[in-house]
Amino acid sequence: MPRMTAFLMTCLALFPLAAAAGDSERGRDLAWQYRCMTCHGVEGRTNDPRYPRLAGQKPAYIIERLAYFQAEIEPFNEMNGHARPLTEDMKRDLAAYFSEQRL
């Protein structure tokens, strides 16, 4: 239960951040640096049903999901390790990049 509370508090704290625009060019560089494309496809479009498409998603959704993985609500989820080192700015930048990609 403490993890869920921490996650909810993180999400509530992120709503103002979701409105702050990230830098999509930095987000593109981060997407390659952190190998997002390996699973989510180039520009966030994948045909693999195991991984969600990130292209065209609302920035708030991407930021919230990254916070979810950082909070490690699902132990042993592979995304936990990928999200762990991301700063708030990095999450906004990734969200800006993927949200601007066409579906």
What pLDDT was estimated at residue 22? Answer: 95
Rounded Cα distance between 97 and 1, Å, is 33
Q: What is the CATH number of domain 2-100?
A: 1.10.760.10
What pLDDT was estimated at residue 21? Answer: 86
Report the predicted TM-score, pTM, of the whole model to 2 decimal places.
0.79
DSSP codes, 65-81: HHHHHHTTSSTT-HHHH
pLDDT tens per residue, range 3-53: 665 665 565 555 554 446 899 999 999 999 999 999 999 899 999 999 999
Q: Delimit the domains of the chain by residue range.
A: 2-100
pLDDT tens per residue, range 49-97: 999 999 999 999 999 999 999 999 999 999 999 999 999 999 999 999 9
